[in-house]
Structure formats: C-alpha cells, structure tokens
Amino acid sequence: MTRLTSLRNEMEKKGFGGYFTMSVKNIYYLTGFKDISGAALSLIIPLDGTPVLLTQPLSYVAASEKAEGCVVKDVGFKGSFLGETVRELRRLKAERLGFDDLTIAMYLSLGEKLGGSMKLIHSPETVMRLRRRKDEREIQYIMRAAMLTDEGAEAGIEAVKAGIHEYEIAAEIEYAMRIHGSEGVAFETVVASGPRSALPHGLSSDRIVREGDFVTMDLGAVYSGYCCDITRTVTAGKPSSKQLQMLDTVLKAQREAFKSIRAGEKTRSVDDAARRVLEEEGFGGSFIHGLGHGVGLDIHEAPTLSPKSREVLEEGNVVSNEPGIYIQGFGGVRIEDTVWVHRDKGENLTKAAYHKR
C-alpha cells in the first residue's frame, strides 16, 4: 500500500474530499521529493484522482524528476502561487478540505479566496498518524543517521577537557557528523558545561570548560531527511562522588526504561519505569521533562513518552529514551539514545560510549 493510498484511507474516515499540505517534510514523505526548508510547495490530494504538486521555477525540474504519484505543475516566475493553489483547490469540488499546518496569512487568504465554498479543517494528525510507524526504508535511513550521530558524540566526548570553549566542542561534533555524510544537524547542538549542564536546552556558549565540570552534549545527524538524537554527559577530569551518583542513577533509569520498550506498552509506563528509579535515589524532583519523543523526519514527533501521555507504543515507532537529573547551581546529567520499537523489545540505534575512554 502506498503512502498516498494510506492517506486517502484516513481522508475517507474523516469525510475529507481533499487534503492540502505545504509542509516540505510531508510532501517528501508522500511523494519522495525533498526540497530545502521553507521552499514554496503545495500538494493537493483529491480523494479520487491524481494529486497535484505546485512548485515555483526554483524547484520544478527537481520535483519533476523525483516526485512520484502526482502531477507536477510550475506556477511560473510571474505566476501567482496563491492564485494557482486556489484554482486547484476549487477543482476538487470538495465540501471538506483537510490540511496540516499553514501560516496564519495563508489560512486567512485561502478562506477569503475560497469564499466559504469548502470547509477548511485543521488535521495535521492525518499525516502524522502515518508517519509514526516507520517502514523498512525509513528505518535504514534512521540507522544511517544514528551511525553519523555516534560519530559526532564520540568526537564531542573526545574533545571534552578543561580550557576548551563549549562552542569548540559543538564545532568538533558537527564537523565529525558532516565529514562522515550528515546532511546537517537535526537541531541546534547542545553543549552545556558546569552549572549550565542543568539547563536541558543549554545551547553551546563561549563558556570555558573547567576541571571537574559536567559537560552535557545533545546532538543529532540527518540522513535522507531523517533525524537521530543522542545525549551524553561526561566530566572534564575525574568526577566527584556526587557526580558519579548522578551519572550512575541516570544510566540505571535509562536502562530500566529500555527494558519496558515494546509494542503495546503504554508510553506513560515507560516513562514511569525511569521515574521510579530517580525517585528511589532521591532525584525524582530533578527530572523535569518527559522521558522521550518520536524521532523521524522531525526530531520531535509522535509518540510522546511522558506521565501525561495516553499513547501506546507500536511496532515501527522510533523514540528517544532520555532521563535526566538537573540541579540548579550544580549541574545536570542526561543520557539519551534513539530506540527502534519491535514487537517484543526495543533496539538501541545509537551506540556511542557513555564516558571518556
């Protein structure tokens, strides 16, 4: 079954006569054509009939060569992208049109131009429900991204020493991933040292690492559009007894959570497995985020692993497993791997060392 066929099945369930997306990632997922972030594209999918992909001249040749299952149309250098999109949408003659995420300006413009001829229904989950279960090709891409991510993590761990700037470590990480074949970074590389390691999103700064500091590195490579995610925390020099306790506790929590990752498991139960360990060791109040998230074309997608989640893991999900302890003024530890969910177990796709060799 093709992805477009699966999407149409979802559209039929929701009573959509058509579906509309301008998301570069969703268009790649549905047609195989990958463009740069922010490219002007419109994919219009009728419940019956051939989808139309509208492009500007900048993307037309590449889209014509790569896009499958659709007709590619060039709006032209002087053409109106909005006007042509509206014309194609009117041809659907649909009463209900599903769409994912549009800018407010585009949404208002479409509403005005269509004049109430069809009801616009925000339904991003229509595509995201399909994207959460990865097929064999997607897994291969993520596995390759994981290998590149490991290269970055190993380079970062090796670079950690007293006297180095955080941004220098980030540069070593990103260079290692790039030189081995990463298309870029999945998100802004986090390198947070000393007290800053207690900031879960502590982007690299000009702080100089000091002897005995925690250094937390959160990074990810991209391959064929697919992301990976890893976090490692090490010390610059010999760790103190408190640091060792924190490192050992987080690693134990991560391993306990990993044991419960399998298809059919409630995501909040996986989170709870890690949270129990931290609470037993007296760090429960220092774990201030959910255990993990789905990983794919976006670095954060469904499913979510947290106490609030009511989702269930499915075979083919790829998720992060990232417990942490954050003590303001002292420092923090997070250890994260990207995990492929199987029917009866999880498989760590990231394999970088947890400490300096």
Mean pLDDT (whole number) for 74-94? 90
- Whether the predicted pLDDT of 272 surpasses 70: yes
CA distances from 91 to 94, 121, 251, 350 (A): 8, 18, 56, 47
Where residue 79 falls among pLDDT bands split at 50, 70, 90? Answer: confident
CA distances from 87 to 26, 54, 295 (A): 22, 11, 36
Checking DSSP bridges between strand 71-74 and strand 190-193, what pairing results, if any?
unpaired
Q: What are phi and psi of 268, to 5 degrees?
A: -70, -25
pLDDT for res 356: 62
**Mean pLDDT in residue range 65-76:** 96
Look at residue 77 in the predicted model and tell me its pLDDT: 82
Question: What percentage of residues in the chain have a pLDDT greater than 70?
Answer: 99
In the prediction, which pLDDT does 355 show? 75
- CA distances to 196, 211, 325, 330 from 166, in Å: 10, 13, 20, 17
pLDDT at 117: 81
Q: Which fold has domain 136-348?
A: Creatine Amidinohydrolase (3.90.230)
Its pTM stands at 0.95
**pLDDT for 30 beyond 60:** yes
The structural domains of the chain, with segments of one domain joined by +, span 3-131, 136-348
Which among 148, 162, 140 is positioned nearest to 211, based on CA atoms?
162
- For residue 61, what pLDDT band results from cuts at 50, 70 and 90? very high
Quote the CA–CA distance of 221 and 148 in Å, as a whole number: 6
- Decide: helix, strand or coil at residue 195: helix
Average pLDDT, the chain: 96
Helix 241-259 × helix 267-280 angle, to 10°: 150
Q: What are the pLDDT digits (tens) for 218-267?
A: 999 999 999 999 999 999 999 999 999 999 999 999 999 999 999 999 99
Element (H, E) at 140: helix 136-159
Q: How would residue 357 be classed by pLDDT, with cut points 50, 70 and 90?
A: low
pLDDT of residue 229: 98
Q: What does 41-74 look like in DSSP terms, one character per residue?
A: EEEEEESSS--EEEE-HHHHHHHHHH--SSEEEE
User: What pLDDT, in 10s, does the model give residues 297-324?
Assistant: 999 999 999 999 999 999 999 999 999 9
What fold does the segment set 3-131 form as a domain? Creatine Amidinohydrolase; Chain A, domain 1 (3.40.350)
Find, among 180, 286, 289, the residue nearest to 228 by Cα. 180
